[in-house]
A and B are shown apart, each in its own frame.
Chain A
């Protein structure tokens, strides 16, 4: 059973389009995250949700909007895609709230390519 699953695995789209990435965790965790990993492998947090409530919203363009319908799901919607949005996006979850009191469990990533 996959603990943190995200779909799709690959996403190729044109500039200006709107796309969504879905994430689901079956670990019963209260906290979920979206991270962006650029071409140099640098991993940066975008959003953090705890029990469906937005906790962390880093400096991310408002074209990015997370949505948490329940605490097992955290989706990411991106409007008006730009070339610079090309990256790998990772969903993660943890048991013990924000911070590193417990391990983060990552999905396998969604590679977004904007042409």
Chain B
């Protein structure tokens, strides 16, 4: 069954605005990670957040995790054209099985 589901599927915002993407999952997890994928390239790791953590920051990125709601959000502040990409969440369950969501396509408008 699908574990991670990103929302929205696609998002277009003006350069300089903040972008928020959400990820929901169904079963208990050990860790959650966010990845970025530029067109024609492999996925690049952004942030790892463990199940006992609630918030992590990395530069312009902020990730939150709410295990009671089984959801996570990725906030990109002050977006830039280079942020245009697809963003995926990935979770692992107690059996270490990794499942990726279907991704959010983010488009930054000039």
Contact = CB atoms under 8 A, between A and B. Distances in A.
Given A41-B86, A99-B31, A103-B33, A108 B41 contact: yes
Interface residues of B, number: 25
Given A45-B98, A98-B96, A103 B48 contact: yes
B51 to A, nearest CB: 10
A108 B102 contact: no
Interface of A, secondary structure class, is loop
Nearest to B93: A99
Contact of B98 (A4, A99, A106): A99
A66 interface: no
A109 B42 contact: yes
A104 B44 CA distance: 8
Contacts of B48: 100, 102-103
Interface of B, secondary structure class, is strand
B100 A43 contact: yes
A27 interface: no
B92 A100 contact: yes
A42 B3 CA distance: 12
**Nearest 4 pairs between A and B by C-beta?**
A106-B42, A99-B96, A103-B45, A100-B31
Interface of B: 30-33, 35, 37, 40-45, 48, 86, 88, 90-92, 96-100, 102-103
15 contacts: A43-B88, A43-B100, A45-B97, A45-B99, A90-B42, A92-B42, A98-B96, A98-B97, A99-B31, A99-B96, A100-B32, A100-B48, A102-B48, A104-B43, A107-B42
Interface of A: 4, 35, 40-45, 56, 90, 92, 97-109
